[in-house]
Structure 1
Amino acid sequence: MKQAYEMTYTHKTDERTSVRLIPYDSIYQDQYRKLYNSCYHEMREALGIRPYDFIQDDSFFDEGMDEVYILVEDGELIGSVALKGNEIDDLLVAIKHQGKGYGKQILLWALGKINSDNIILHVAEWNARAVRLYKSVGFEVTKTIEIK
Structure 2
Amino acid sequence: MSETYVISNEIEIVGFVSLVDDYLAALFIDVKHQGQGYGKRLLNFIKERRENIQLKVYKKNRNAVNFYVMNGFVIKKELLDEQTVEEEFLMGWERV
Once the two structures are TM-superposed, the CA of residue 126 in structure 1 deviates from its matched residue by 2.1
Alignment partners' CA distance in 1, 2:60 and 2:38: 20
Residue in structure 1 matched with residue 53 of structure 2 by the alignment: 119
- Cα displacement (A) at 1:137: 2.1
Number of residue pairs matched by the alignment? 82
The runs of 5 or more residues in structure 2 that have no matched partner are: 86-96
Q: Does 1:74 align with 2:10?
A: yes
Cα distance in 1, alignment partners of residues 11 and 65 from structure 2: 29
If the length of structure 2 is used for normalisation, what is the TM-score? Answer: 0.75
Task: Please say if residues 7 and 38 of structure 2, whose CA atoms lie closer than 8 Å, have aligned partners that are also in contact.
Answer: no
Deviation at 1:75, TM superposition (A): 4.2
Contact 2:17 2:42 in 1 (8 A): yes
CA RMSD across the alignment: 1.5
Q: 1:72: Cα distance to partner? A: 2.1
Identity %: 33
Structure 1: gaps of 5 or more residues: 1-63
SS of residue in 1 equivalent to 2:46: helix
The residue identity in structure 2 corresponding to 1:133 is F
Q: Which has the higher helix share?
A: 1
Relative to its length, the structure with more strand (as a share) is: 2
Aligned-residue offset at 1:99: 1.2
The aligned counterpart of 2:29 is 93
